Every structure is written in C-alpha cells, then in structure tokens.
C-alpha cells in the first residue's frame, strides 16, 4: 500500500511537533499537580451502559504521561536521522505517533472501559511496530507472538473489568478506587484479581510470559527504545499501580506480586548475562526491571511504593538511552555482538562517554539517580513486614547481576584492543547521540538534585497509588545504614560476577542447552497443537458437504436447548390438550410427510412429502386464525416443490433406502426440544409490553391501522429493506446466470 504523499512529504520537524507540544503542556501542569491538583474531564459516551469518556490527570498519570511524551519526543528526534534513508519512514512515524497517543489515552483514562480501548490500541500499534520490517520472518513471528500473548491478557482484563463493574456498580476509576473495602470483601474479588493480574502480567512480561519481550527486539532500535523501556511494557505496571487502592492489601495480592516479581527479576537477570547480542541483553534487563516494579507494588509501605516510582523513572531514563546508544554502535560498527566489539572508545568517544553515564545509573553508582533508586529499593524491601528477607535477597541478587551487565556494556565494547568489525567504526551523527546524552544527563542531574523530581513527580505519584496523602523526600545520602551496606554488597557482588562473566555465561549456555524445553519452544508447540486441532475440526465441520453442516447446526441447537432445560428444569405438565378431529388430521398429515421424507430413496418423493409437511403447517395456521400466513405458507411450499422437483428430475436416484440413525436421532431430538420450548412458552405468562407498545404507537407515530404492516414498513424498516435487498440481489444473480447460459448457446 502506498503511503499518501502528504504523509511522505512531512518533514521531521512536523513529526516532532505533537510529542514536543504534549510534553510542554504536561510540564506546564506539573506545578499544579505537585501541589495536589487533579484535573478531570468527562463526557457521556454510552449512557445506556453507564460508560463515560472520562480522563484524569493526577500524580500517577502525569508521571507516566511525561515519560511517554518526553522520551517519545527524544525518540522521534533520534528516529528522524536513524530512519532518514528507510523507504517506509513515513509509515514508521505514523505508527510511532499512533502508539504514543494510545499510551497517553491509557494512562489518562478515568474509565475502565476507555482504559481497555486504549489498552487494545497499544496492543495493535505495538504489533505493527514490532513487525515493522514485515519482509523479515523473524519480525513477523515476534509481532504475532506479542499480539497473541498480550491479546489473551487483554481478554482476561476485559473479563476482570466487567466483574469490577458488576461489583462496584460503575466503571469510573475515581469511584472504583474509593470502594476498595467493598471490592476486597466481595465474592468476585478473587476472579477479579486473577483476571486483572493476568492482563498486567502478560503486558509487562512477567514469568512465565517473559519470553515475548526479548523476541520483540526484532523491531528497529528506536521502537525497542520506546516500547520496551518507558511505555508499552509498563502499561501493566501502570494498571497495577492504578488499581492498588482497590485490590491491594490482601495476602493473595501481596504474595502473588511478590513471588512473580521476584522470580521474574532474578530469572531475567541471569538470562541477560547469557546473551551476546547487546540489544537482547538490554531486553532481559527490562524484564528484570518490570519484575522489580511488580514486586514492590505488592507492598503497602510508603517507602516501597516510593522505591517503585523512583525506579520507574530511573529505568526509563537509562534504558531508553542505552537502547539508542546500542543503535549507534550497531550503526557505526555493523554488529551488536559483544564478543566482537572491542576498543571503540577512540573511534566513538561520545557514544562511549554517554554509555558510561547511562550504565552508571543502571548499576546504581553515586551520584546518579540510579543510586538513590537502589537505596530506596533496599529500604523498601526491608520495610515489607511480611517477607523482608525474601524481597531483599531477590533485589540484591538482581541488582548485582545488573552491575555486571552495566560493566559489560561499558568495558567490553569500548576498551581493550580494537577488533575486526564488519564496518570501520565511526561516531554517530549529532542527532543520534544528543538524544541519549540528554537522557543519560538527566539521570545524573536528578541524582545530584533529587528534589527536582521528589516533590514534583515521586510524591504525587505515591499519593495517587496509595490513595492517601504521603510525604516523600529523595536524598543522595541517607547516612551509614543497612541499605548502604546492601549497596556496597551489591557493587562487590556485581564486580565478582563480571570477573567470572565468561565462565558464568558458558555455564548458563550449557544449562540452557540441557533443559528439555524453553518458553519459546513451549509456545511453538502450543501454536502447532492449536493449528492441528483447528485442522482436525475443519476437516470434520468444513468438509464441503451440506448435510454435514446442517447436521452439525441442528445437533448443536438440540444439545444447547436440552442442556438449558436440564440446568433450569422443565415443567412436568406435558399432557396433551384436547384436539378436534381436524387438528388431529393436520398433525397426522405433518407426521406422515416427515416419516416419508426420512425413509424414501426418491428425491421427487422426498420433496413432495416435505411439501405435505408444509401444507399441514398451513392448515394449522388456518385453523388458528392466521389465514394470511397460511396462504403465504401454502404458496411458498407449492413454489418450492415445483422448482425443486424440476431440478431433481435431472439428478440421479438416491441409493437404496437405509436408516440413518444419527440423522434420525438428531431430527427427533431437535423436534422434541422445540416442542418442549413451544409448550413452555405458551403455558407461561405472556408479557404484552411489546404488543401494547405497537398498538399504542402504530397509529400515532406511523399513521397505520394494520399493525403488522406498520411493523414491517416503519418499525422494522431497515430489516425489511435488507430482506428486499437480498431478494433483489438473488434475482439479479439468477438473471445474470440465465443471460450467461443464453449467450453460451450456439
């Protein structure tokens, strides 16, 4: 598909304008939100269902929105140069901005249904971005994997949202967050929690759904930097934070988030050391960060939530910067393989220095913001009353491995003797290094002056998450205490891991080779099994034989009605009413026609017998005061018999008559359940509300005294028009076939 000229001709400045404008507007609202202001707008969307198009800007949504807009601005500026020579750069920017607006809608939504709409929009746009290089089979596979997994989670989230609406009586998040005690004691709390967590865990790549995120690295570097550092993968984290006042505080919430988060953080850290591709290595550290955030959001302590918010900001800065810098390394050397990259600091000094700044924040060295975040994580881990040692051990282990990864990112590519590379190393253009440099510098700036974000971002976000006013103070130095000791232990352990990096990576590779199945292989087998099951089902249900289709439909209807009767019970009073001789005669005529139709081997006899059933039905209509319907039925049956008989005379005879027990059983079952349904419907009290409505409105609104005609022409005008259109199309098709046959004759 060709991109419209207006889009292809758009300059980079035009693409940069929307995210930059949004970021400036959000920065203008920052002082008011920091002072406790909350902005909310709402409009009726689907009033009949109580769904409003409502949006809210508070401390939590502003923090996410600033990360989305700010990092989106820098990624867009970076991409303007990085994608300058790409043939599909216009499509890239359209998708990037569409994803950005979807994420902004998600974090600003104050209605769960609206949130879900934007949630699914992020799923679709991220699918298109991951599969941007659609000619590459790997990119297509990764995109399909991402949309299937996150789509399954989205369906679970939708079910959870419906249950929340049922329990709370509203879909407005502002009202739901105030009903935490009601929902936590509701009978639906457990399914609500499990469904919401499934949606969040798939989106934020928690174990066992972690494997899709590294595979999504098939996307171009700017997409990886944006989607997988600050935006899409943190949608699940945002959902957990937003639902914290409503769902948190129970043992199920605490232990589920703590265990899954801790396992995800440690497993992802080990898998990061296993990688040789720098981009994949960073991808697994993103999974580690998501696990850490999930773990801390399971807590109730203020310092634990503050640690989560601070680490959210820290991670967004250094991870987006590192992804962009790895794009520069790949651009300047032609490879991302850490085994081949050596001695680049002289050829790429700016990239080397910027990578060091971002990696120091990642490792948690002072005076970077990463150090403050790490100290808060340890303080928050120790403040979790239920399992402080477990959380602290998981955080120390994951952080130590991150120190080793940071060392690999800085030392391996830029120091040592120069290696043989696919391209002669060279520094990236200014536009490609200044954007990650800004992000890395922010990590240093906010580390030196943590008050710049402590009062304006972290504290309002913590207040919004916990649903109560909180005071948070960020400081670079907290004195000599247990968190400081754990920080020193982390750095020492990370240095030790780096020293034995080669052996550890080889050991992890051996362990991975010996395990029977990886998550990717399990996923492939599940898809293969699904395809096999679909093929088997199709071979049975879609075999090209009309009688099989009819048998399947009739059997399904019969089973569904029978199951309903069994589940809800059927009235035992099925006694025959008193019938007159004419009524018995009509019934006998219908039964005789049906029996002959079932047992005859002559097509002509079968269609005539079926016509007898229609005539008997017309007699029933006539005896019960519906002569117009009876005449219509009789005319149609006569016409069908004549037309079908004319066709069937040209067909071969059926094989010798034989009983077909399956077909007879399905026919008998369908007739029986319909008879029971009809008997029950005429016995029960009749609701005349619809009848009364048409009787009252037919003359006053449609100016007609024949109620049936008024219903067909006015009240069901579109339905009737559709039926007329079907008949007209069929007539045109028949005429075309006849003309074709006439033209083909000599």
Mean pLDDT of 739-744: 62
- Asked whether the beta carbons of 126 and 232 are under 8 A apart, the reply is yes
Neighbours of 368 (CB within 10 A): 28
CA torsion sign for 148, 150, 153, 154 is: negative
Judged on CB neighbours under 10 Å (0-12, 13-18, 19+), 450 is buried
With 90 as the cut, is the pLDDT of residue 436 above it?
A: yes
**Phi, psi (rounded to 5 degrees) for 111:** -130, 130
Q: Work out whether strand 39-46 and strand 51-57 pair parallel, antiparallel, or are unpaired.
A: antiparallel
Confidence of residue 528 (pLDDT cuts 50, 70, 90): very high
- Number of alpha carbons in the 13 Å side-chain half-sphere of residue 68: 30
Residue 204's nearest CA partner among 291, 85, 312, 105 is 291
Mean pLDDT of 427-434: 90
* HEC sequence for 236-296: HHHHHHHCHHHHCCCHHHHHHHHHHHHHHHHHHHHHHHHCCEHHHHHHHHHHHHHHHHHHH
Neighbours of 226 (CB within 10 A): 29
- Asked whether the beta carbons of 262 and 256 are under 8 A apart, the reply is no
Query: CA-CA distance, 99 to 86, in Å (whole number)?
Result: 20
Confidence of residue 544 (pLDDT cuts 50, 70, 90): confident
- In sequence order, the β-bridge partners of residue 111 are 172
Residue 99's nearest CA partner among 214, 225, 199, 284 is 225
Higher-pLDDT residue of 382, 653: 382
Confidence of residue 573 (pLDDT cuts 50, 70, 90): low
Of 488-492, 530-534, 643-647, minimum mean pLDDT range? 643-647
Query: CA-CA distance, 227 to 125, in Å (whole number)?
Result: 10
Q: Which SS3 state, helix, strand or coil, does residue 629 take? A: helix
Residue 250 makes CB contacts below 8 A (sequence gap 6+) with 184, 189, 193
Residue 296's nearest CA partner among 378, 198, 362, 230 is 378
With 60 as the cut, is the pLDDT of residue 726 above it?
A: yes
What are 579-624's pLDDT values in tens digits?
Answer: 788 888 888 888 888 888 877 777 778 888 888 888 888 888 888 8
CA distances from 709 to 702, 705, 712 (A): 10, 8, 5
Query: CA-CA distance, 458 to 309, in Å (whole number)?
Result: 6
Q: What is the pLDDT of residue 407?
A: 93
- Asked whether the beta carbons of 351 and 329 are under 8 A apart, the reply is yes
Q: What is the pLDDT of residue 9?
A: 46
Confidence of residue 102 (pLDDT cuts 50, 70, 90): very high
Confidence of residue 84 (pLDDT cuts 50, 70, 90): confident
What are 451-463's pLDDT values in tens digits?
Answer: 899 999 999 999 9
Mean pLDDT of 220-249: 87
- Asked whether the beta carbons of 372 and 303 are under 8 A apart, the reply is no
Confidence of residue 6 (pLDDT cuts 50, 70, 90): very low
With 80 as the cut, is the pLDDT of residue 419 above it?
A: no
Q: What is the CATH number of domain 546-688?
A: 1.20.120
- Asked whether the beta carbons of 348 and 477 are under 8 A apart, the reply is no
Confidence of residue 648 (pLDDT cuts 50, 70, 90): confident
Confidence of residue 1 (pLDDT cuts 50, 70, 90): very low
Of 33-47, 331-345, 510-524, 654-668, minimum mean pLDDT range? 654-668
What are 18-55's pLDDT values in tens digits?
Answer: 899 999 999 999 999 999 999 999 999 988 788 899 99
CA distances from 661 to 5, 86, 370, 598, 724 (A): 65, 65, 75, 11, 39
CA distances from 552 to 530, 542, 563, 595, 742 (A): 21, 10, 16, 21, 38
Neighbours of 15 (CB within 10 A): 22
Q: What is the pLDDT of residue 572?
A: 54
Query: CA-CA distance, 33 to 26, in Å (whole number)?
Result: 10
With 60 as the cut, is the pLDDT of residue 557 above it?
A: yes
CA distances from 655 to 347, 451, 543, 659 (A): 86, 90, 21, 12
With 60 as the cut, is the pLDDT of residue 58 above it?
A: yes
**What is the separation of C-alpha 611 from the centre of its chain, rounded to a whole number of angstroms?**
52
Q: Which SS3 state, helix, strand or coil, does residue 133 take? A: coil
Higher-pLDDT residue of 392, 12: 392
Residue 664 makes CB contacts below 8 A (sequence gap 6+) with 598
Q: Would you tell me the crossing angle of helices 302-333 and 430-448 to the nearest 10 degrees?
A: 160
Residue 277 makes CB contacts below 8 A (sequence gap 6+) with 217, 336, 337, 338
pTM: 0.81
Residue 10 makes CB contacts below 8 A (sequence gap 6+) with 90, 93
Q: What is the pLDDT of residue 742?
A: 58
CA distances from 222 to 279, 340, 606 (A): 12, 23, 69
CA distances from 170 to 47, 120, 164, 433, 540 (A): 12, 21, 8, 48, 44
Query: CA-CA distance, 34 to 455, in Å (whole number)?
Result: 7
Query: CA-CA distance, 212 to 149, in Å (whole number)?
Result: 8
Q: What is the pLDDT of residue 574?
A: 58
Burial 46-76 (b: 16+ CB within 10 A, else e): eeeeebbbbbbbbbbbbbbbbbbbbbbbbbb
CA R_g for the chain: 34
Residues found in the chain:
746
E strand or H helix at 40, and its extent?
Answer: strand 39-46
Query: CA-CA distance, 146 to 129, in Å (whole number)?
Result: 11
Residue 577 makes CB contacts below 8 A (sequence gap 6+) with none
Categorise residue 218: left if φ over 0, alpha if ψ from -120 to 50, beta otherwise: alpha
Residue 59 makes CB contacts below 8 A (sequence gap 6+) with 33, 34, 457, 459, 460, 461, 462, 463, 464
Percent of the chain with pLDDT over 70: 94
- Asked whether the beta carbons of 447 and 361 are under 8 A apart, the reply is yes
């Amino acid at each position: 598909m060709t991109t419209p000229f207006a889009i292809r001709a758009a300059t980079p400045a035009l693409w940069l304008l929307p995210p930059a404008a949004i970021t400036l507007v959000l920065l203008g609202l920052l002082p008011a939100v920091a002072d406790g202001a909350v902005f909310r707008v709402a409009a009726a969307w689907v009033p009949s269902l109580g769904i409003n198009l409502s949006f809210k800007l508070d401390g939590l949504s502003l923090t996410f929105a600033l990360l989305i807009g700010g990092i989106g601005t820098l990624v867009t500026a970076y991409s303007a140069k990085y994608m300058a020579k790409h043939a599909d750069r216009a499509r890239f920017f359209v998708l990037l901005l569409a994803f950005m607006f979807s994420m902004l809608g998600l974090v600003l939504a104050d209605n769960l249904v609206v949130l879900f709409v934007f949630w699914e929009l992020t799923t679709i746009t991220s699918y298109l971005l991951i599969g941007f290089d659609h000619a590459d089979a790997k990119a297509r596979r990764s995109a399909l994997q991402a949309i299937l997994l996150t789509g399954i989670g989205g369906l679970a989230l939708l079910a959870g949202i419906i249950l929340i609406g049922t329990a709370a009586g509203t879909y407005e998040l502002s009202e739901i967050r105030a009903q935490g005690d009601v929902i936590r004691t509701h009978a639906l709390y457990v399914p609500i929690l499990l469904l919401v967590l499934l949606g969040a865990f798939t989106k934020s790549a928690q174990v066992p759904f972690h494997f899709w995120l590294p595979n999504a690295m098939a996307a171009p570097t700017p997409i990886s930097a944006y989607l997988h550092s600050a935006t899409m993968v943190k949608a699940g984290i945002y959902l957990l934070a937003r639902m914290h006042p409503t769902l948190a505080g129970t043992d199920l919430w605490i232990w589920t988030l703590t265990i899954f988060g801790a396992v995800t953080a440690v497993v992802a850290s080990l898998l990061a050391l296993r990688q040789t591709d720098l981009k994949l290595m960073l991808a697994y550290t993103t999974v580690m960060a998501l696990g850490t955030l999930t773990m801390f959001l399971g807590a109730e302590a203020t310092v634990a939530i503050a640690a989560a918010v601070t680490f959210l900001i820290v991670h967004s800065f250094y991870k987006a910067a590192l992804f962009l810098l790895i794009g520069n390394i790949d651009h300047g050397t032609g490879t991302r393989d850490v085994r081949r990259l050596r001695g680049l600091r002289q050829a790429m000094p700016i990239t080397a220095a910027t990578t060091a700044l971002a990696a120091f924040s990642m490792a948690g060295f002072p005076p970077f913001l990463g150090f403050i975040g790490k100290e808060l994580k340890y303080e928050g881990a120790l403040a979790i009353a239920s399992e402080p040692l477990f959380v602290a051990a998981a955080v120390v282990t994951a952080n130590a491995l991150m120190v080793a990864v940071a060392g690999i990112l800085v030392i391996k590519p830029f120091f040592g003797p120069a290696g043989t590379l696919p391209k002669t190393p060279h520094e990236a253009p200014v536009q490609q290094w200044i954007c990650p440099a800004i992000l890395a510098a922010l990590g240093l700036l906010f580390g030196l002056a943590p008050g710049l974000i402590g009062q304006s971002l972290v504290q309002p976000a913590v207040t919004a998450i916990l649903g109560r006013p909180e005071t948070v103070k960020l400081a670079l130095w907290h004195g000599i205490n247990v968190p400081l000791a754990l920080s020193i232990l982390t750095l020492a352990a990370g240095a030790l891991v780096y020293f034995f990096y080669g052996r550890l990576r080889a050991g992890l590779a051996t362990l991975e080779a010996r395990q029977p199945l990886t998550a990717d292989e399990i996923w492939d087998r599940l898809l293969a099994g699904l395809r096999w099951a679909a093929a088997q089902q199709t071979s049975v249900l879609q075999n090209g034989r009309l009688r099989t289709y009819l048998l399947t439909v009739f059997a399904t209807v019969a089973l569904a009605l029978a199951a309903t009767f069994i589940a809800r019970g059927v009235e035992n009073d099925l006694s025959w009413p008193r019938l007159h001789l004419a009524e018995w005669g009509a019934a006998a005529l219908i039964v005789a026609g049906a029996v002959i139709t079932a047992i005859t081997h002559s097509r002509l006899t079968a269609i005539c017998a079926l016509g007898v059933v229609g005539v008997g039905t017309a007699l029933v209509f006539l005896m019960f005061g519906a002569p117009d319907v009876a005449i219509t039925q009789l005319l149609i049956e006569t016409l069908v018999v004549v037309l079908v008989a004319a066709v069937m005379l040209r067909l071969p005879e059926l094989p010798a008559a034989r009983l077909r027990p399956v077909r007879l059983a399905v026919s008998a079952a369908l007739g029986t359940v319909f008879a029971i349904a009809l008997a029950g419907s005429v016995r029960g009290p009749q609701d005349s509300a619809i009848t009364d409505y048409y009787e009252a409105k037919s003359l006053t609104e449609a100016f007609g005294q024949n109620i049936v005609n008024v219903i067909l022409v006015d009240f069901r005008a579109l339905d009737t028009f559709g039926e007329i259109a079907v008949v007209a199309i069929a007539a045109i098709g028949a005429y075309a076939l006849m003309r074709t046959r006439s033209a083909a004759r000599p």
